Amino acid sequence: MSEPGQPKPEEPLGALIPVLGLCGFASTLTMRLIDPLVPTLALELGQSVHQIAFLVTAFAGCYALGQPFLGPVADSVGKLRSIATCLAALCVLSALAAFATNYWMLLVLRAAGGIAAGGVIPAAMAAIGDRAPMAERQIMLGRFLVIMIIGQMAGASFSGVVADHIGWRAVLGTAALLAGGGALLVRLVLKPRPIAERPPLSLAGATGRYRTVFANPRSKILYAIVLLEGALIFGLPPFVAAILHERSGVGSSEAGLAIGAMGLGGLVYGLSTRVLVQRVGPAQMMRLGGLAVALGDFAFMVVAPWWSAIGIFLLIGFGFFLIHGTLQAQATELAPTARGSAVALFACFFFMGHATGPLAMGALLQGLGTHGALAVVGIGIGLLGLLAPKLLPPLGSRS
């Protein structure tokens, strides 16, 4: 007999990982669309690069702020229903953004899209946590990431290429179609668990579930670490296109390929998760991940042909997922009876970092220049990777 909140080992996963992976694909593709388009949108909308970069902050910030509300909703109405509804909303908002006539309209629609996108991946991770036993969970989440990360790769690479040849509006229109298709797929293919306990949605119930999450002393440490991780790693991508243009005169297509390589690094992680978990161990994975990202940041300081950035961001992406994959597996076990809320808070803090990162990076770039800013974030993420296993030893793993 299973403990309360623990998945039953005989529960079949079936199509869960492929379908939820495709939902994550749609969400991450929408999330990463703007990064390679920053110089293009700045020119077309008559705004500065830093103002256009704020579109990334608005999306990620609203993604984060929506989590405390979306987590209890997913726990109460069902995670699959919540995912389908959020994808449908994302479809509509992305379609409207494709017809935006000015910066402020696009800003509002991207911010609202961030809230909708926020209801997809955390709920999908929690749904996997409901069904996969802890011994297999990081491996199953790695498989989920393989599909989801292709969306991240496609989001940046596809965005830059299509924008150069067809226009940025076609990019957003395509994202709308993918989100709508994901919503339909969830409703047609996946079935809710008939034995799932779904407490009624109420303020008292939501507050109680969050109290349950924070009753675990590991929660505060984990959320602080993932906040810093998001800021240190995702402050850079919105400025990559401008840096590469200044160095090499290249456009959105080349910048998109470079940023998209982060997803390729994540794909390498996803395909090798089982080997990494079993032979390297989660604690050492975090240390190596911090070192890999730091090396990538320092390598990007070197003025070199634009295509060298592809290898650099592949290394950064692989390092990021070495850290993040371990942290998100731990997030699914903070509060097994309130897993949707626990994972939603994990996403909330991560995307708070994701949102503030570009603002901090912009200030560093203005104050210290490109080399100084990259040195600061490189040292920061390297130290975080070294300290994280000491502050938060992975459950049941070797150090």
* pLDDT for res 15: 75
Distance CA 120, CA 73 (A): 12
Q: Is residue 181 part of a domain?
A: yes
Q: Is residue 6 part of a domain?
A: no
Residue 338 contacts residue 209 (beta carbons within 8 Å): yes
* pLDDT for res 249: 85
Q: Is residue 3 part of a domain?
A: no
Reported as a pLDDT band with limits 50, 70 and 90, residue 3 is very low
Report whether pLDDT(111) > 50. yes
Residue 242 contacts residue 154 (beta carbons within 8 Å): no
Computed over every residue of the chain, the mean pLDDT equals 84
Report whether pLDDT(7) > 50. no
Q: Is residue 198 part of a domain?
A: no
Give the structural domain span for 273: 16-189+210-391
* pLDDT for res 271: 79
Instruction: Pick the range with the lowest mean pLDDT from 97-101, 182-186, 325-329, 332-336.
Output: 332-336
Nearest by Cα to 376 from 294, 270, 256, 276: 294
- pLDDT tens sequence across 284-318: 999 999 999 999 999 999 988 888 999 999 999 99
Q: Is residue 9 part of a domain?
A: no
- pLDDT tens sequence across 341-362: 788 788 889 888 988 898 899 8
Sign of the alpha-carbon dihedral angle for 183, 186, 189, 193: negative
We report the CATH number of the domain holding residue 134 as 1.20.1250.20
Q: What's the number of domains the chain is made of?
A: 1
Q: Is residue 195 part of a domain?
A: no
Distance CA 257, CA 342 (A): 34
Tokens of 17: 């990982």
Residue in the block written with tokens 């969050």: 210
Q: Which residues contact 327 (CB under 8 A, 6 or more apart)?
A: 222, 225, 226, 229, 286, 346, 388, 392
Angle between helix 49-77 and helix 121-131 axes, rounded to 10 deg: 40
Q: Is residue 135 part of a domain?
A: yes
- pLDDT tens sequence across 51-64: 888 888 889 888 88
Q: Which residues contact 382 (CB under 8 A, 6 or more apart)?
A: 290, 291, 293, 294
Q: Is residue 183 part of a domain?
A: yes
- pLDDT tens sequence across 8-32: 444 445 677 888 888 888 888 888 7
**DSSP code at position 119:** T
